[in-house]
Amino acid sequence: MDILEVILLIVGIVIFIGSFLLPAGRSDAGRIDTDAAKQEIHGLIEEEMKTVRAQVQDKVEETSEDVVEKAERSLERLTNEKIMAVNEYSDTVLQEIHKNHEEAMFLYDMLNNKHANIKDTVSKVDKAVKAAEDKVKVIDDTPTVKTEETEKVILADEPAKTEEAVSPEIGFMGETAEEGQNNNEKILEMHRQGKSTVAIARELGLGVGEVKLVIDLYKA
């Protein structure tokens, strides 16, 4: 009920009561006191006003409660929405953190694997270099070994050739005694210097057997 309707209702009641009091006042003017009627009307109006005030107060309180309740519901709904938004955002942040952590761990594992591969490669390279150095060393040592073996083979084969060539060489030395004497001196001199039989024969252009024979004769 609106305030305007309440006021109209009060005015109607006042007019209704007044319609009964005024005729009675005319007929019994001597017995009815006008002031008493006014006081009665005023009392009725006051009672109605109290009733209206109470109704208005109740309406205001009811309206206030509705407003407060609506405000509380709105605030609760807004709070829930904000909480849900914060939860969704926190979930998103946690997912990103987890994803970044997994990527970091993957990169760490990959770096460890690369480091292990590099160490393995360096180890293989070191082994290959060492093997190559060993092969080079073997190659460098091979000519000396082969030279010594060749010299032994030549020395082992020369006695037979020496026996076959003794007579021609002796004859040749007899024919060229002076040249043979010079060669003999050179052979002996080079032998004193510590040169090998093969080296002496190579420098003088003589056979190894001839050089060996001269040295053996000198020793005898």
The mean predicted confidence, pLDDT, of the chain is 72
Give residue 57's pLDDT: 80
pLDDT of residue 91 exceeding 80? yes
**pLDDT class of 18 with cuts at 50, 70, 90:** low
Give residue 4's pLDDT: 64
The answer to whether residues 60 and 78 belong to one domain is yes
The answer to whether residues 120 and 103 belong to one domain is yes
Among 112, 142, 172, which residue terminates a domain?
142
Give residue 163's pLDDT: 46
Residue 193 DSSP symbol: T
Domain span holding position 200:
143-219
The answer to whether residues 115 and 148 belong to one domain is no
* Structure-block tokens of residue 119: 């160490």
Among 142, 159, 177, which residue terminates a domain?
142
The answer to whether residues 184 and 133 belong to one domain is no
The answer to whether residues 153 and 125 belong to one domain is no
Average confidence (pLDDT) over 84-96: 86
Among 83, 112, 142, which residue terminates a domain?
142
Q: Is 208 exposed, middle or buried (0-12, 13-18, 19+ CB in 10 A)?
A: buried
pLDDT of residue 154 exceeding 60? no
The answer to whether residues 66 and 130 belong to one domain is yes
- The rounded distance, in Å, linking the Cα atoms of 169 and 49 is 171
- The rounded distance, in Å, linking the Cα atoms of 83 and 97 is 21
Residue 23 located in a structural domain:
no
**pLDDT class of 176 with cuts at 50, 70, 90:** low
pTM as predicted: 0.32
Residue 24 located in a structural domain:
no
Provide the number of structural domains found in the chain: 2
The answer to whether residues 149 and 199 belong to one domain is yes
Rounded (10°) CA dihedral 18, 20, 21, 26: 120
pLDDT of residue 100 exceeding 60? yes
**pLDDT class of 150 with cuts at 50, 70, 90:** low
Average confidence (pLDDT) over 32-41: 66
Give residue 33's pLDDT: 58
Query: What's the 3-state SS for 142-179?
Result: HHHHHHHHHHHHHHHHHHHHHHHHHHHHHHHHHHCHHH
Q: What is the pLDDT of residues 105-120, one digit of tens each?
A: 888 888 888 888 888 8
Residue 134 located in a structural domain:
yes
Residue 215 located in a structural domain:
yes
The answer to whether residues 112 and 160 belong to one domain is no
The answer to whether residues 148 and 131 belong to one domain is no
The answer to whether residues 74 and 148 belong to one domain is no
Give residue 167's pLDDT: 44
The residue among 59, 51, 53, 56 whose CA lies nearest residue 13 is 51
